[in-house]
Amino acid sequence: MAFSEKGAIFPEISYGFYKVFAELHCINYEEIPLSEDFTINTNDYLSKGKMIAIANPNAPTGIALSLSDIEKIVKSNEGNLVLIDEAYVDFGGESAIGLTKKYNNLLVVHTFSKSRSLAGARLGFAIANEEIIKDLEKIKYSTNPYSINRLSLLAGEAAIKSDPYYKENAKKIIEARQYTVSELKKLGFEVLPSCANFIFAKKDGLDGEEIYLKLKQNGILVRHFTKERIKDFNRITIGTMEQMQKFISVISSII
């Protein structure tokens, strides 16, 4: 609403809501295909003349861009906003928050829904240069100035103060992710290199939807997407070590 009057671009495979929001607000948007290996090709995002939105790490691939790639994109798009969505950054990505001091067209957003375990609180924050935040506040005060309820604010404050606890959680998830990736690879799965709290995996010769349905019959829910290019993949959220051991034993029996 605040920054995309000249249009917006984002990766073709990414957080599904970018497209939903663009359509809701009648924004002229363009989706850029990912490279062959499902990475974001930095060169596709240089000097675009419109707003750019990138989830880093990306979803549902889990693949992260380096900080130097982000900086290249931000630098070449002076005068247009670059939104870096760091919903999953605490699981192994590099935060671009530091770059907001150097560039006035960079907006970094975080949510409390993932690494801070507060999905029901509907809470997040945005970090950018003061002028950018003022623009956002103009939008906020023109829609619903009381957008965040007091209970969520208190929960968010407590979560910030409990940072060591959440860091420890993220560490456990990263360990369970490493275990899951290595077990799936032993079973012949292709797993994209994830910096998030989920992995994206497929096995040649196996139908993605069928794996999803068989896991579901066994009480395990993963996310299957019908988009042609990723229809044989499933996004598997990383849970506790016990849950992932159960998952590996179920998926072994399925294949």
Ligand X SMILES: *Cc1c(COP(=O)(O)O)cnc(C)c1O
Positions in the binding site for ligand X (CB under 6 A): 15, 55, 59, 85, 87, 111, 113-114, 119, 124
Q: Which is nearer to ligand X, 101 or 122 (CB)?
A: 122
Question: What are the backbone dihedrals phi and psi of residue 209, each rounded to the nearest 5 degrees, phi first?
Answer: -70, -35
Amino acid at the residue 185: K
What's the min distance (Å) between Cβ of 207 and ligand X?
26
Cβ at position 121, least distance to ligand X in Å: 9
Cβ closer to ligand X: 126 or 255?
A: 126
CB of 57 to ligand X, least distance (A): 8
Q: Which of the 8 DSSP states describes residue 211?
A: H
CB of 55 to ligand X, least distance (A): 4
Give SS3 for 127. strand
Residue closer to ligand X by CB (options 52, 251) is 52
Distance CA 11, CA 113 (A): 22
Instruction: Give least dist CB 210 to ligand X, A.
Output: 26
Cα–Cα–Cα angle for 147, 6, 101, rounded to 5 degrees: 65
Q: Which one, 108 or 176, has the nearer CB to ligand X?
A: 108
Q: Which residues contact 122 (CB under 8 A, 6 or more apart)?
A: 113, 148, 152
Closest CB to ligand X among residues 94, 207: 94
For the purposes of burial, counting CB atoms within 10 Å of the CB of 158, is it exposed (0-12), middle (13-18) or buried (19 or more)? exposed
- In the complex with ligand X, the residue whose CB is nearer, 58 or 180, is 58
Q: Where are the alpha helices (DSSP H) in the chain?
A: 17-24, 67-76, 130-143, 150-161, 163-186, 208-217, 241-254
- CB-based contact 223:235 (threshold 8 Å): yes
CB of 32 to ligand X, least distance (A): 16
